[in-house]
A and B are shown apart, each in its own frame.
Chain A
Amino acid sequence: MESARGTVFKYGDNVDTDVIIPARYLATSEPSELAKHCMEDIDKDFIKNVKKGDIIVADKNFGCGSSREHAPIAIKAAGVSCVIAKTFARIFYRNSINIGLPIVECPAAADAIKAGDTVSVNFDTGVITDETTGESFQGQAFPPFMQGLIDAGGLINYVNAKSAS
Chain B
Amino acid sequence: MGMTMTQKILARHAHVPSVKAGDLIEADLDLVLGNDITAPVAIREMDRFTKQGVFDKDKIALVPDHFVPAKDIKSAENCKCVREFAKRNKITNYFEVGEMGIEHALLPEQGLIAPGDVVIGADSHTCTYGALGAFSTGVGSTDMAAGMATGKAWFKVPAAIRFNLTGSLNKLVSGKDVILHIIGKIGVDGALYQSMEFTGEGVAALSMDDRFSISNMAIEAGGKNGIFPVDEKTLAYEKEHSAAEGVILTADDDAEYVRTIEINLSEIKPTVSFPHLPENAKTFEEIPDLAIDQVVIGSCTNGRMQDLRQAAAILKGRHVAKGLRCIVIPATNRIYLQALKEGLIETFIEAGAVVSTPTCGPCLGGYMGILAAGERCVSTTNRNFVGRMGDTTSEIYLASPATAAASAIAGKIADPTEY
Interface of A toward B, CB cutoff 8 Å:
14, 16, 18-19, 22-24, 26-29, 41-42, 60-61, 64-70, 72, 87, 89-91, 94-95, 98-99, 143, 145-146, 154-156, 159-160, 163-164
Contact = CB atoms under 8 A, between A and B. Distances in A.
18 contacts: A14-B277, A19-B387, A26-B66, A26-B67, A27-B75, A29-B41, A65-B385, A69-B122, A69-B142, A70-B41, A87-B189, A90-B224, A95-B143, A99-B140, A145-B24, A156-B142, A159-B146, A163-B150
Contacts of A90: 192-193, 222, 224
Contacts of A66: 123-124, 364, 383
B49 A18 contact: no
A46 to B, nearest CB: 14
Interface string B384-406: 01111000100000000000000
B136 interface: no
B40 interface: yes
Interface in B110-148: 121-124, 126, 138-143, 145-146
B366 A23 contact: yes
B48 interface: yes
Interface in B24-69: 24, 37-38, 40-41, 44-45, 48-51, 66-67
Contact of B189 (A22, A69, A89, A159): A89
Given A67-B139, A90-B192, A163 B388 contact: no
Contacts of B141: 69, 95
B50 A163 contact: yes
Contact of B38 (A41, A67, A94, A154): A67
Interface in B71-116: 71-72, 74-75, 78
B188 A159 contact: no
A66 to B, nearest CB: 5
Interface residues of B, number: 52
Which among B37, B66, B72, B142 has the highest number of chain A CB atoms within 10 Å?
A: B142
Interface in B330-380: 364-366
A68 B140 contact: yes
B385 A18 contact: yes
Nearest to A24: B365
A143 B156 CA distance: 10
B149 interface: yes
B237 interface: no
A116 to B, nearest CB: 23
A61 B49 contact: no
A156 B146 CA distance: 7
B419 interface: no
Nearest to B121: A67
A102 to B, nearest CB: 16
A24 B75 CA distance: 11
Contact of A67 (B50, B124, B193): B124
Contact of A22 (B150, B277, B387): B387
Contact of A160 (B49, B78, B143): B49
Given A41-B386, A90-B222, A98-B143, A60 B38 contact: no
B37 A60 contact: no
Which of B67, B121, B224, B386 is most buried by chain A, counting CB atoms within 10 A of its CB? B386
Contacts of B40: 29
Contacts of B48: 156, 160
Contacts of B49: 156, 159-160, 163
B258 to A, nearest CB: 15
Contacts of A65: 124, 383, 385
Contact of B140 (A24, A26, A67): A67
A155 B142 contact: yes
Contacts of B44: 29
B385 A163 contact: no
B154 interface: yes
B364 A23 contact: yes
A89 B41 contact: no
A143 B24 contact: yes
A71 B120 CA distance: 19
B142 A98 contact: yes
A26 B124 CA distance: 15
A145 B24 CA distance: 8
A159 B124 contact: no
Nearest to A159: B146
